[in-house]
Structure 1
Amino acid sequence: MIETCGPVVDKLLETNAARLKKFVESQAAELQKGGRLPVSSGGRRYGLVKQKPDNRDYQFVAASRKSLPAAVDLRTTGCVPPVLDQGSAGTCSAHAAASALRFLLRKEKLQDFPPSRLFLYYVTRVYVEGVSPSEDSGCALRDVAKAIATYHVCNERYMTYDPAKIAEQPPALAVANARLHTTFTYRAVQQSLSALKGALASGYPVLVGFQVYESFESEEVARTGGVPMPAEGEQCLGGHACLLIGYNDATQTFTLLNSWGLWGQNGFFTLPYAYLTDTELACDFWTASGFA
């Protein structure tokens, strides 16, 4: 069991608080004001920022197998974490990453804890992307992964989620607690049906980003969780990030964990295969493949 008090933590508190203060002071002049996310008619902020291509990204390669199963649902593993609710803030990327990290903790049978979504959202926007703390600007999935690799993440108890507190700097105890936790290695997943199914069949959920259209906020989708392909003339509301946790060849759909509470199928929903494999509709696929 990891201790969260005592001489070691006291030293971490002192060291990390000083480092955090120095970093904030040195970067304050360089922070760029980000744009505040628009609010949809449904009162949601879609916080996925599309990332730029980077040839340095390490690629995920699924274990070789003769054939893929006709269906995979990672909920059967007992590792999928509880459904979360991002509320009115554009924190979908941080929520998806927190769920991916917790899944991996459970999969590897390490100490299970709820990663702080507010901590992740702050360090990603402010320290990695250089956005003003007060701006609910959303963030890119690659940058969230970089933030975890660099700053780790604290337990939710040290920085409890509140969408009204996105501008608050992580307290010293949260920073110290984050350094006590290991971080994961992340890999890009190719945007193809075989690659996405291969990752899931290997037991790894996938962080995904996609464009949301008006039908996503319809009463029918909220009730059934079945998201259709966008119809011609539908307005795009913004980018959203979720955690891909399954697929089914019979229905030609993927299953995803959302961060809107019990919306849809008790917090889950489905997307057609054609949705996530369309480069105009989806982008930015990542998986947490192990711990560093």
Structure 2
Amino acid sequence: MKKILLFLFFTFLFLEAFSQTRMGCKLDSNAYKNVFLAQIPQRGANIQLPKNFSLKQFCPTPKNQGEYGTCVAWTSAYYARTIMLAQKNKWQGTKEIDLHAGSPYFVYENIKGYTDKTCQEGAGLIIALEALKQHGTVTFSSFSKPCGQPISSELRKKAEDYKIGEYRRLFLANSKEKVLAVKKSIAQGKPVVIGLQCFFKSFIQAKDSVWKPKEKELEENWKDEGGHALTIVGYNEDLQAFEVVNSWGTLWANKGFIWMPYQYFQEICFEAYEMYEIEEPTSQIAGELKLNLSVGIEMPLKLKDGFYETTQTYQAGTLFKMYLSNTEPIYIYAFSTDLMDKSHLIFPSEQKSPLLYQNMNTTLPDENHYIQIDNPNTTDYICVLYSKERLHLPSLLEQLSALEGKLLDRIQKVLGSKLIPAQQINFQEITGIKFTAKTDKGSILPIIVAIKKK
């Protein structure tokens, strides 16, 4: 009898703790894989990640979501969106950041189901992020009722200031490189919102600064439990861990924060997203492009008659990548073609968006794959389109294949007035490709590289 009473006592304590630590993230693997994959900086693009990085100084004071299933709104609107705006607007100190912190309740009121009158049912992270994109949010102080506060037309207008431009997923649920993808985003100053399963007593009742699961705790049948949403605000290579902020108040763990070791993060995290600001349109584009062999040697190029060509010849089977940078938000499309007019898509893949945000470095086709030179004694052509507008590449390739003549001439016929006039483009004389161009009289800049083969 005494053992039964003790068991019931500890069960009650656990359930009581859980009742004070609600979750509410609906994990959806099908919806997640349909979100475009982020174009995060690549190792091959000479990106050196700092050993440690933290955005904690931009984070508002941790709060408690209480008895409501609103974690996705807290992680996206209150934490991540506020961290982004604190950096952008140079808010100084916790007091100023808290004053401008985004309201999670505004977002949840926009996304909750019709029957969810008491804000208990939770939602998916994608739905919360889409609400931030479409509606934004307002300050916490102007929308502070946890559930059921009506949204006035005046508040909807104010909420536009907190809109995001876009969001992207960082990896697939079964990826083996989740940790690296998140570190790259954090090092760019982007907080990462994550959906995970953390229904563990050691996590729910955490009191220390580092999460240490109990022995065999992660071996139990935890994948049937509900999901939760958190925000990653930093990483530390000495600790081999991410620092996350939770919506369970300052009495949880280390004043609302905890370090989650990489090894556990890799196993229990199934969704991760970064968000982007709304970019103002500009009247110019600028960027660089270089080709590197698989052994790391750059392929020298020279400008000739409106296109680039390699100064050396290469054998069939040679592997190379393209390293591309852009200064302004831009759509990137890349394909290859040969003298037989056979075209092959290089970028974007089906899972990736062609849109690159400001000041990005990207590897084409991607970090794990190369472009291979095929038939000998011919010339291959690589075409990269820097575009201010979204294009339908399959249709473009079909039109190009239907025409005869040089590739540049065919591109000019198909794209016509959308091309930036040559006199508005400035190419710098270097071994790679570096350019600036005005876009007031056109929106697309084609860069063609002829690869000579032995």
* Superposition TM-score, scaled by structure 1 size: 0.74
What is the aligned counterpart of 1:61 among 39, 42, 54?
A: 39
Helix, strand or coil: the match of 1:147?
helix
| Change in 2 beyond 3 A, CA 1:153/1:110 | farther
Distance 1:178-1:66 versus aligned 2 partners, 3 A rule: closer
Q: Secondary structure at the match of 1:270?
A: strand
Give secondary structure in 2 for the equivalent of 1:291. Answer: coil
Q: For the pair shown, which has the larger CA radius of gyration, 1 or 2?
A: 2
Q: Is the 8 A contact 1:214 1:235 kept in 2?
A: no
Secondary structure of 1:175 counterpart = helix
Which residue number corresponds to residue 106 of structure 1?
A: 86
Residues matched between the structures, number: 242
Q: Which residue number in structure 1 is paired with residue 138 of structure 2?
A: 154
Aligned to 1:96: 75
Does the aligned pair in 1 maintain the 2:65–2:248 contact within 8 Å? yes
Deviation at 1:57, TM superposition (A): 1.7
Q: Distance in 2 between matches of 1:123 and 1:47?
A: 15
Counterparts of residues 211-226 of structure 1 (less than 5 Å): 211-212=197-198, 213-218=200-205, 221-226=206-211
Which residue of 1 is the match for residue 182 of structure 2? 196
* Cα deviation digits, residues 31-88 of structure 1 (max 9, x gap): xxxxxxxx9441122111102424542222223444322222222xx32222222112
Question: Gapped runs of 5+ residues in structure 2?
Answer: 1-13, 92-96, 280-454
Which of 251, 259, 262 is the matching residue for 2:239? Answer: 251
- 2:22 corresponds, among 38, 45, 48, to 45
1:152–1:66 Cα change, 3 Å: closer
Q: Which letter maps to 1:277?
A: Q
**Which whole-Å CA distance do the structure 1 matches of 2:277 and 2:157 have between them?**
22
1:174-213 aligned within 5 A: 174-190=155-171, 192-212=178-198, 213=200
- How far apart, in 2, do the equivalents of 1:40 and 1:211 lie? 17
Residue 118 of structure 1, aligned match among 80, 99, 105: 105
Query: Shift of residue 188 of structure 1?
Result: 0.9
Greater fraction of residues in strand: 2
1:266 aligns with 2:266: no
Separation in structure 1 between the aligned mates of residue 226 and residue 15 of structure 2, nearest angstrom: 9
Counterpart among 95, 120, 136 of residue 120 in structure 2: 136
The one-letter code matched in structure 1 to 2:247 is S
Match of 1:283 among 270, 281, 285: 270
- The offset of 1:269, in angstroms, is 0.4
Would the alpha carbon gap of residues 179 and 217 (structure 1) be closer, same or farther in structure 2, given more than 3 Å must change?
closer
Q: CA 1:256 to 1:138, structure 2 compared with 1: closer, same or farther past 3 Å?
A: same
Q: Any gaps of 5 or more consecutive residues in structure 1?
A: 1-38
Q: Offset of 1:96 from its aligned partner?
A: 0.4
The residue correspondences of 1:3-42 to structure 2 (distance < 5 A) are: 40-42=15-17
Identity %: 23
TM-superposition CA deviations, 1:175-217 (whole Å, max 9, x none): 2322454433211111522111111111111001111122212
TM-score scaled by structure 2? Answer: 0.49
